[in-house]
Amino acid sequence: MKILVTGGAGYIGSHMCAELLRTGHEVVVVDNFSNGTQGALDGVKKITGVEFPFYRADVCDSPTVEEIMEAQKVECVIHFAGLKAVGESVAKPLEYYENNLNSTMAVCRAMRNQGVSRLIFSSSAATYRSDNPMPLTESSALGATNPYGWTKIMCEQILRDFCVGEPEFSVVLLRYFNAVGAHESGLIGDCPAGIPNNLMPFISQTAHGLHKELKIFGNDYDTPDGTCIRDYIHITDLIDGHVRAIDFSAKNKGCEVFNLGTGRGFSVLEMVDAFEKTNGIKLPYSIAPRRPGDIATIYANPEKAQKMLGFTAKKSLEDMCRDTWKFQSNM
């Protein structure tokens, strides 16, 4: 099958392309390199040995997206492109609403006009209210604490409404928990521009000597060791969830939402400890004040994806730490 991957030069998008090409699908990538890189596309080519069409374009530009769909005759779209930094979204809300909503609507418009009816959408656990009981199920209350999360809630709503108006459509909304790790080859991975906001890239860059130390944001939370707990999911497992969502979209019309997490939470200190033990590295760190907006504990109830997609995360914490370091130490 030929699949359009928006944001295919980014962290998750590049791993998706590698897996689709490995399993014999064709991919067409659109990316404006706002976060994605040529290096990620080169990595995908190296891993798979396959050339694929790439368009450097902004997905908000609906006519261009439509031209690409018309020229390439894709059957399915995976829409990863979007702005994703929580802190930046607080400082630049208009950019986030404009970009994430317009790109999603542009993709839908182009799909409708070109008769492409299957869409997989990158959503986030950031769509859940911060006062929900854990674990989070897909019916936990929605409500974000930052503009980034609100853009995902709004895009989900747009897509639900779109499916009502276009009954031939199939949209799968995937709410990611904390994606970490890298391709087993070490050739692609999470490579954020500038100083990383997220824990794992900051840990691996610190281990590589790019930062003096990791600052752990708060050790006075109501958790066993006082540091925040998150549901870290290996990128390979996350991609497997997408592959299953693609199959699901072939058999089901309408809009369906799934959590993609492991169902198991680890604290920041447990992540540091696992990284040190797995890779035999001592990581310099200190305790810093809490980061505004963080909540103590977030983890998924993954049962719906288990039941309806046959999805189970298989990779261990050690796999996450080893593969993250393999990628970072290659750079």
Q: Where are the alpha helices (DSSP H) in the chain?
A: 11-22, 38-48, 62-72, 86-91, 93-114, 147-165, 199-207, 235-251, 268-279, 303-309, 317-330
Instruction: Say whether residue 234 binds ligand UFG (CB under 6 A).
Output: no
> Phi/psi class of residue 273: alpha, beta or left (left: φ > 0; alpha: ψ in -120 to 50)?
alpha
Nearer to ligand UFG, 230 or 234 (CB): 230
- Of 9-17, 25-33, 238-246, 291-299, which segment contacts ligand UFG by CB under 6 A? 291-299
Segment 212 to 231, residues that bind ligand UFG, using CB under 6 A:
214-217, 228, 230
Q: Where are the alpha helices (DSSP H) in 218-297?
A: 235-251, 268-279
Nearer to ligand UFG, 51 or 222 (CB): 222
- Of 34-42, 130-138, 196-204, 313-321, which segment contacts ligand UFG by CB under 6 A? 196-204
User: Can you tell me which of 126, 163, 191, 207 binds ligand UFG, judged by CB under 6 A?
Assistant: 126
Nearer to ligand UFG, 104 or 114 (CB): 104
User: Can you tell me which of 145, 197, 219, 297 binds ligand UFG, judged by CB under 6 A?
Assistant: 197
CB of 288 to ligand UFG, least distance (A): 7
- With tokens 């130490």, the residue in question is 329
Quick note: the x/- pattern for ligand UFG over 238-277, rule CB under 6 A, is: ------------------------------x---------
Contact 159, 171 (CB under 8 A): yes
Task: Give yes or no: 148 in active site.
Answer: yes
Q: Which of 11, 55, 128, 148 is catalytic?
A: 148
AA letter at 298: I
Long-range CB contacts for residues 51-54, cutoff 8 Å, separation at least 24:
52/17, 52/21, 52/26, 52/27, 52/28, 53/28, 53/29, 54/8, 54/9, 54/28, 54/29, 54/30
If we measure between CA atoms, which residue out of 177, 197, 231 comes closest to residue 86? 197
CB of 296 to ligand UFG, least distance (A): 8
Q: Which two tokens stand for residue 247?
A: 């199959």
User: Can you tell me which of 178, 204, 262, 278 binds ligand UFG, judged by CB under 6 A?
Assistant: 178
Q: Among all residues, which ones are annotated catalytic?
A: 148
Interacting residue ranges for ligand UFG, rule: CB under 6 A = 84, 86, 124-126, 177-178, 197-199, 202, 214-217, 228, 230, 268, 291, 294, 298
